[in-house]
Chains A and B, each alone.
Chain A
Amino acid sequence: MSNQALTEAVYYILLSLVKPLHGYGIMQNVEQLSNGRVKLAAGTLYGAINTLLEKGWIVALAEEKESRKKEYVITDLGKQMLRCEIVRLKELIENGNHILEEEA
C-alpha cells in the first residue's frame, strides 16, 4: 500500500501541515521550503487538499471566528505516509550516490 511514491506537491503539502495552515499559507510555505523552486498553483492545491481530506491524511480545523480562512492539519495517518515516503526517498538517494560513486 505504501510502496507508491507521493507527488512532490503532496509531499510538500503534508510537510507544511505539520503545523495548521490555510490554503495560501501552504502555497507560501512550500515555496519557502523549496527555496522558490516549487510554486504550487491554487487549482492544483485545491484538488490535492480535497483528495487528502477524503483519504484522511489531513483534516480541516473548525473555522475561527475572526478569520473565514479554513485551516488544515496533518493526521497520524498522514504522518505515517510521510515517514514511508522519507524511507523511499532515502533509498533513492543512497542507491544513486552509491552507484555514481562506484562509477567515478
Chain B
Amino acid sequence: MRKVVHKLFWMWDFDKEEKWLNEMAAKGLALISVGYFRYEFEDCVPGEYKICSEFLGNRFSGVESAKYIEFLEETGAEHVGTFSNWVYFRKKTSEESFQLFSDYSSRIQYLTRIIRFIALLGGLNLYMGCFNLFLFFYHNLYGNLIGTINLLIGAICMIGMTRLIRKRKKLKTEQQIFE
C-alpha cells in the first residue's frame, strides 16, 4: 500500500525532516518518492530502512549530482528521489548504521553549504525588498506589497541562518577537542 503525506519543513529544519522520515520508516512506512512538499511512502518491515537526505548545493548541476548519486549507490544506498536541490537516500538498517557524514569537518562543511545558500537567498530578498519599498516603487501599492514580502522572506531566512550558524559553532567547539 502506498501513502502520500503533504508536509512542510523550513530548509534549516532538514534534520527534523530526516527524523520524521525515519520515524515513519520505524512505523513501517518507507519513503519511495519526493515532490513539492509531498512525501510518498510504501509499506516496509518496521525499522527496515534508515533514511538520509542531503542538500546538494553546488553539486546541483546534472553531471555532478549524477556522479555523487552513483557513488552513493555503489556503497549500497538506494536513491529514493531528488527534489529541487535535495536528494534522498535509504538503506537497509541490517547492514550497518547509515549516515552521510561521519566526522566534524565534513559536518561543518555541509552546514556551511546550506548556510551559504540561505544567506544568498535571504540577502537577495532583503536587497530587493529595500529596492522595491524605498526606491523603485515608492508610494506604489503593488511595489510596496512585493517589497514587504521580500523583506519578510529575507528576515525569515536570516533567522533560519542564525540557527544553523549557532549549530555550526557548536560543532566547531567540539572539533577543537575531538575529530
Please report A residues at the B interface, Cβ cutoff 8 Å. 7-9, 22-24, 27, 39-48, 68-69
Contacts and interface: CB of A to CB of B under 8 A. Distances in A.
Interface residues of B, number: 21
A41 B110 CA distance: 13
A43 B105 contact: no
A7 B179 contact: yes
B77 interface: yes
Given A7-B105, A22-B74, A24-B74, A41 B179 contact: no
Interface in B92-109: 96-97, 99-103, 105-106, 109
B49 to A, nearest CB: 16
8 contacts: A23-B74, A40-B102, A41-B101, A44-B100, A44-B101, A44-B102, A44-B103, A69-B74
Interface string B41-62: 0000000000000100000000
Contacts of B68: 46
A77 B106 CA distance: 23
A69 B99 CA distance: 21
A40 to B, nearest CB: 6
B103 A23 contact: no
User: Chain A at the B interface: mostly helix, strand, loop or mixed?
Assistant: helix
Nearest 7 A/B pairs, CB to CB:
A43-B100, A41-B102, A44-B106, A42-B75, A24-B75, A44-B102, A41-B99
Interface of B: 54, 68, 70-72, 74-77, 96-97, 99-103, 105-106, 109-110, 179
A68 B101 CA distance: 24
Contacts of B105: 7
A104 B102 CA distance: 36
Contact of A43 (B54, B74, B76, B179): B54
A27 B101 CA distance: 13
Contacts of B179: 7-8
Contacts of A44: 100-103, 106
A9 B72 CA distance: 17
Contacts of A23: 71, 74-75
B88 to A, nearest CB: 13
Contacts of B72: 42-43, 46
